[in-house]
Amino acid sequence: MKKKFLLSAIIMSMMLMLVSCGEDKHYGNPSSTKTRLDNALSVKDELIVSYEENYDRYISHQNLSGDGVEVLMVYMVGSDLESEAGLASEDIEEMQDSSFYGDNLKVLICTGGANYWWNDDISEDEVAVYEIFSGEESMDKLTVLDNDNMSEPDTLTSFIDYVYDNYQGDCYSLILWNHGGGAVLGYGCDERYNYEALSLSELDTALSSSRLIMDGNRFEWVGFDACLMGMLEVAELFEPYSNYLIASEELIPGEGWDYSFLEELSDGTALTGDYAGEVIIDTYASFYDSYKWYKPEYTLSCMDLSKTNEVMNEFDSFISVAESSLIGGEYSDIARQRGNTKAFGIIDEFTCYDTIDLYNLTENMYDSHPAEAASLQSAIETMVIYEKSNVENANGIAIYFPYNNKDYAEEWVDEYSQYDFSEPYMQFVRNFMETLSGNPLTVWDISSDDATVMVDADIEATPSDAVGDIGSIGNFSIQLTPEQAANFATAKLEIWEIFENQDNGSYGLWINSSDVNLSSDGVLSSMIADKRFILRDSAGNEADCCAIELERGDDYAVYYTVVFNTPYDDDGYPGLMEDYKIYIRVDADNPNGVITGIYPSDSDTDNMMPSKQSVVFEQGSTINPFAFGRVVKFNDDGSLAPFDEWESNSGLFYGFDLDGDLSVDMVDIDPYIEKLYVYCIVDTQGNSYILNVVQ
């Protein structure tokens, strides 16, 4: 079978762009000064005391049983989500179309932070406050704020103050709309100010300085229509300021929240945050469960912030015993437990945000610390009062735990430590980082003499424990030393196939997989699949593609493939070719794979915030999958050079013009074409090694 491979003019720099973490980038606003942070923490402590002393008065002031007025504030930092795709304007239109009852629900939005607004009523040159009315296309422009930088704490404070001073309500709620980067990178990129963002400390300053909070009130609920903000660190920050937090552990799909929920919130039934959480989460899940274009992964949870202190106390106890194990020499065990925990915001094999599900972490560390893990699990179950997701091991609360993203770990931990979070955890993180970033614990010098290769071409059936319909033609095994086995974290077996229409010894990557097993005697083995992915459309057009595994669980795997898409205008002229990542999930319901999202490969934001700007390819546009290629290199004595010294020879597969829905499928790998099987091992310090064992 001849491979459909089109040599491209793409040079090595393009390849590096696709597979590297990138140059040093700006991560939002500089950290607050120590004086400013200390002042904010002091105010926060005073507010906690004030709230406790005035709790009865606060409760009696709120009419939360029904028939009251809720004032909803939406802080909408448009950024590139608006200027490039109109996503903020789309959500404003959803609010206008939601048929909410204006006597019970007042909706105020604050807009800015984008170079261009698709909504004609909004100017990109100012930060303005509008009131939205159900069923009306226009909005009432109420005021223009003095500060036009939405990544400044004062701007958020000014918005809250304006609404609080001018709209009397029985309860107040707040939605923070834009990019989110979790506990480290914060929230809200202002495109007009170099994509600066609000750090957690700055969010703290903005809330504590508002008159609503300083008068002894709280928000009934705060929600993030932004990625990765469903974290314990965020809950701890908002605990003095809000009764409930509604946020996602995972990336938010492209179209964000479904604002049709406003109608149900305004029906006079109730104003409580737990009720709002259920309505918002149910609407959100229903929207993406029935999404037309593909099957996005999602999470969304509602947390009772009155339970935050209990979770924090149990978390500190849990971390204290983990710290004892860490300094007692159990680093590699803890690293493997961390590595096996459900992670969120995985962009590619080089870019992630090191946020993981806290409950799943306790499950993986349960055998080591059963009493403390059980107590923390119980506290989390009490705090997360409602959640929905379509991914495994997402339980409603994430936490930052540096591990996979080593290139930025030191910088991110420094940023993380600026916020006054759990001191036992910060000490644990510092000690963990010392080994993570230290000298390698072992040497991975494995040659072909250490490898045992078992290939049986008669095996065709998919093993019973395999994820998806991937087939099998045998196993590839390597003997590790005891020291290597002790510090082994994971590995991927890569399958490369020669490009037969080239005479320069080029091989292309079909697929890699971390479906590996390490036996008690140190034998690392992996099943060799005999299936690979293709892309196709409704008309039957198809193209080869290579698939890189990002994540694997007991019964699912997630891959991505890179494609270049070229749209055409009405006159048939091609537009600018752009590169995208297509994410693919394989599980029992989708044994041949299903597309879960399509996202730009490279974000223009300078702070590495994950993009929720998913795309749908235009009909008639050309789709060319990217082919990762290498040319075999030989040593002077004629022996095969180490794999990582082979020359890059990447390009594009022949593609097709999209006709109908885009989908993914699996086809057989030709057993008669020359292949290479290569192991890439990752140790417990996150170091990767391509072994000089090639079959």
Helix axes 331-339 and 308-327, enclosed angle (nearest 10): 140
Predicted confidence (pLDDT) at residue 487 exceeds the cutoff of 70: yes
Q: Which residue has the higher pLDDT, 4 or 235?
A: 235
Question: pLDDT tens for residues 203-240?
Answer: 999 999 999 999 999 999 999 999 999 999 999 999 99
pLDDT value of position 52: 44
Query: Ranked by mean pLDDT, which of 129-138, 196-205, 632-641 comes out on top?
Result: 196-205
Sign of the CA dihedral 118, 121, 124, 130? negative
Under the banding of pLDDT at 50, 70 and 90, the label for residue 3 is very low
Distance CA 630, CA 639 (A): 17
In contact, 153 and 198? CB cutoff 8 Å: yes
pLDDT value of position 81: 94
Under the banding of pLDDT at 50, 70 and 90, the label for residue 466 is confident
Q: Which residue has the higher pLDDT, 407 or 190?
A: 190
pLDDT value of position 505: 83
pLDDT value of position 536: 96
Q: Which of 58-72, 344-358, 541-555 has the lowest mean pLDDT?
A: 58-72
pLDDT value of position 453: 57
Under the banding of pLDDT at 50, 70 and 90, the label for residue 470 is confident
Q: Which residue has the higher pLDDT, 555 or 451?
A: 555
Mean pLDDT of the chain: 86
Query: Ranked by mean pLDDT, which of 38-42, 189-193, 465-469, 639-643 comes out on top?
Result: 189-193
pLDDT value of position 27: 30
pLDDT value of position 604: 46
**Backbone angles phi and psi of 484, in degrees to 5:** -65, -45
In contact, 12 and 509? CB cutoff 8 Å: no
Under the banding of pLDDT at 50, 70 and 90, the label for residue 464 is low
pLDDT value of position 138: 82
Q: Which of 2-6, 141-145, 196-200 has the lowest mean pLDDT?
A: 2-6
Distance CA 657, CA 630 (A): 27
For residues 435-462, give the mean pLDDT: 70
Q: Judge residue 263's burial from the number of C-beta atoms within 10 Å of its C-beta, 0-12 exposed, 13-18 middle, 19 or more buried.
A: middle
pLDDT value of position 611: 78
Q: Which residue has the higher pLDDT, 467 or 46?
A: 467
Q: Which residue has the higher pLDDT, 230 or 669?
A: 230
Predicted confidence (pLDDT) at residue 375 exceeds the cutoff of 70: yes
For residues 580-600, give the mean pLDDT: 94
In contact, 600 and 580? CB cutoff 8 Å: yes
For residues 507-526, give the mean pLDDT: 90
Give percent of the chain with pLDDT exceeding 90: 66
In contact, 138 and 122? CB cutoff 8 Å: no
For residues 504-526, give the mean pLDDT: 89
Predicted confidence (pLDDT) at residue 567 exceeds the cutoff of 70: yes
For residues 185-198, give the mean pLDDT: 95
pLDDT value of position 694: 66
Distance CA 134, CA 552 (A): 45
Show the tokens assigned to 313: 């106390």
Distance CA 547, CA 665 (A): 12
pLDDT value of position 77: 98
Distance CA 2, CA 7 (A): 14
pLDDT value of position 476: 81
Q: Which of 21-35, 312-326, 333-347 has the lowest mean pLDDT?
A: 21-35
Question: pLDDT tens for residues 70-98?
Answer: 999 999 999 999 999 999 999 999 999 99
- CA-based nearest residue to 623, from 670, 579, 581, 656: 656
Task: Say how many CA atoms lie within 13 Å of 190 toward its Cβ.
Answer: 26
Domain coordinates in residue numbering, the chain:
67-435, 444-694
Under the banding of pLDDT at 50, 70 and 90, the label for residue 477 is confident
Distance CA 396, CA 323 (A): 24
- CA-based nearest residue to 629, from 510, 518, 459: 510
Distance CA 311, CA 324 (A): 20
